[in-house]
Amino acid sequence: MRELTADQRADFSRIVKPYLSRQEVLRMGGFVQHGTVSTLAHCLRVARTCYAWASALGARVDMEDLVVGALLHDFYLYDWHDRSTSRPHHATMHPLYAAENAVELLGVSDSVRAIIESHMWPLPPSRPPRSREALILCAADKWCSLGETLLMRRAPRGEKETTVAAAALALDGGLAPTTPEGGRTKMTMASTICLFAACSLGGWLWETLFAILRTGRWERRGFLFGPVCPIYGVGVVSIVLALQAAGSLGCELTDWWQVFLVSFAGSMALEYATSWAMERAFHAYWWDYSNVPLNIRGRTCVPAGLLFGGGGLLAVYVLMPAMAQVSASVPEVALEACSYLVVLLMSVDATLTVTVLTDFEERVASADRSFNDRAEAVTERVATTVSSAPGRIRGEVAQTAADASARIVGGGERLERIAADAFVGSMDAVHRSVVGRIRGFRSPERPEVSERLSSILSALKSRR
């Protein structure tokens, strides 16, 4: 993070000092935000980052509104980890809770309130940043949150930053590059994000090439709309962080076989957990190892783990040193800008993909309910007709209705295909692209919806 000049530090202190004298604001020091970082320390770090970025860019902003909005952006005053005390829908609603507290307890202006309310965008999508100050805060909050979650040094277990002095000391530390220990290069947050992006793109290229070699045709791969497979990036970054954590605990893993075993076991655990979580969230799966030997419920398998173990060696002994050289030769501002662009694009892509998948499942469920309602209405009308028919012909009417029902049931598969084709025809290009990359659907809780989703997916892939 860019260092402030003496004059800038004095100006920053002038802005935040009145608020740090308020007990309501100091209460944030009693709540944990990320890891062992208190909410107060996080807010101070974000405020300082906003001030530094606005100063470096020469942005025409109201610096006081920007810094105050950043200092109070998480002023919701509860422990969000404790469901018994937190307020509903914290992830998307806490900007509104914080803004409400800032107005009621501290009397902030409407412009500061608007800055606070939009800091979590694109969640919710309905509150985008509408000023330069809000846009800077939105970016700085994500930047600092990533740093605190991934790479900031943690306090000893049982301790956390709770005082203003501790928070200020953390701010001075910033997100500076770490130094090499044990002969292995450590990476900054910006270079780690860029490594994540490069590995996600490389994973997508590998998946696409493998699909072409296996099927002889182009297939869109991955969960997101863009040309990335984030699970590869997450896997490599997890290996890097695991090795760094082991080194900091005095268990430096320097032998290639140790790196291979960590990569092998970690990749299998990551694949299984990711497959399970995505199936629970979307009732769908994007890969299936059921036909591969030594698989675990089709979610992961030993052969793939061995392959990813080799990929871990490539990441540690080739990609990490290369990224360190790039970091040393590229200006820090450019690397940080690139890393933020990656975060922004990934966030927008993930929001778009999740929105499309959620909308798709809801539309299918709605169509299924509509079809069942119409079928029940027809059945009721037939039953009414049979019961109202004269006794001498009631048997003939009932038999005719039974024959018609049998023909409908017999042609159910054909009707299902027609309905699936019609539904696919109503989908736009974005829905087709995102849904077309799914391998299949599984929903033990709602098997009828799962069957309908599977038939639509088959109809979509048959059009390619």
Cis before residue 128, ω within 30 degrees of 0? no
Check residue 410 and give its pLDDT.
Answer: 47
Q: How far is CA 17 from the centre of its chain?
A: 35
* Alpha carbon separation from 148 to 67, 152, 298, 338, 369 (Å, rounded): 19, 5, 35, 19, 46
Annotate 104-133 with b (16+ C-beta within 10 A) or e (fewer).
ebbebeebbbbbbbbbbbbebeebebebbb
Query: Per the structure block, which two tokens stand in for 422?
Result: 């019609």
Residue 446 has pLDDT above 90, yes or no: no
Residue 355: is its pLDDT beyond 60? yes
First to last CA, the chain: 49
Q: What residues contact residue 43 under an 8 Å CB cut-off, 6+ apart?
A: 28, 70, 71, 72, 73, 74, 75
Q: Do 443 and 460 touch, CB atoms closer than 8 A?
A: no
- Which position has the token pair 């038939």? 455
Amino acid identity, residue 248? S
- The predicted-structure confidence for 416-444, as pLDDT tens digits, reads as follows 565 566 666 667 777 777 777 787 877 66
| Per-residue pLDDT band at 333 (split at 50, 70, 90) | confident
Q: For residue 222, what pLDDT is reported? A: 80
**Does pLDDT of 220 surpass 80?**
no
pTM: 0.53
Quick one: CATH architecture of 6-173?
Answer: Orthogonal Bundle (1.10)
| pLDDT for the residue 285 | 85
pLDDT reported for residue 201: 92
**378-423: per-residue pLDDT in tens?**
556 655 655 665 555 555 555 555 555 555 544 445 555 655 666 6
User: What pLDDT, on a 0 to 100 scale, did the predictor assign at position 409?
Assistant: 47
11: pLDDT strictly greater than 90: yes
Most confident of 123-137, 170-184, 360-374: 123-137
- CA-CA distances (angstroms) from residue 77 to 37, 99, 174? 15, 11, 24
Mean pLDDT of 94-98: 92
In this prediction, residue 104 has a pLDDT band, given cuts at 50, 70 and 90, of very high
Distance CA 43, CA 46 (A): 5
Confidence of residue 170 (pLDDT cuts 50, 70, 90): very low
Nearest to 263 by CA among 273, 253, 251: 253
User: What number is the average pLDDT over the span 340-354?
Assistant: 89
Q: What is the rounded distance in angstroms from the CA atom of residue 168 to the CA atom of residue 153?
A: 15
Domain ranges in the chain are 6-173, 189-330, 350-462
Q: What is the mean pLDDT of residues 247-260?
A: 73
Q: How confident is the model at residue 152 (pLDDT cuts 50, 70, 90)?
A: very low
**What residues does 184 pair with on adjacent strands?**
181
Percent of the chain with pLDDT over 90: 29
Residue 186: predicted pLDDT: 54
pLDDT tier at 117 (50, 70, 90 boundaries)? Answer: very high
pLDDT at residue 217 in the model: 76
- How would residue 286 be classed by pLDDT, with cut points 50, 70 and 90? confident
CA atoms within 13 A on the CB side of 234: 13
What is the predicted pLDDT for the residue at 461? 64
Q: Is the pLDDT of residue 354 over 60?
A: yes
Give residue-wise pLDDT tens across range 270-281.
999 999 998 888
Confidence of residue 92 (pLDDT cuts 50, 70, 90): confident
CA distances from 41 to 38, 72, 146 (A): 5, 11, 14
Residue 389 is predicted with a pLDDT of 55
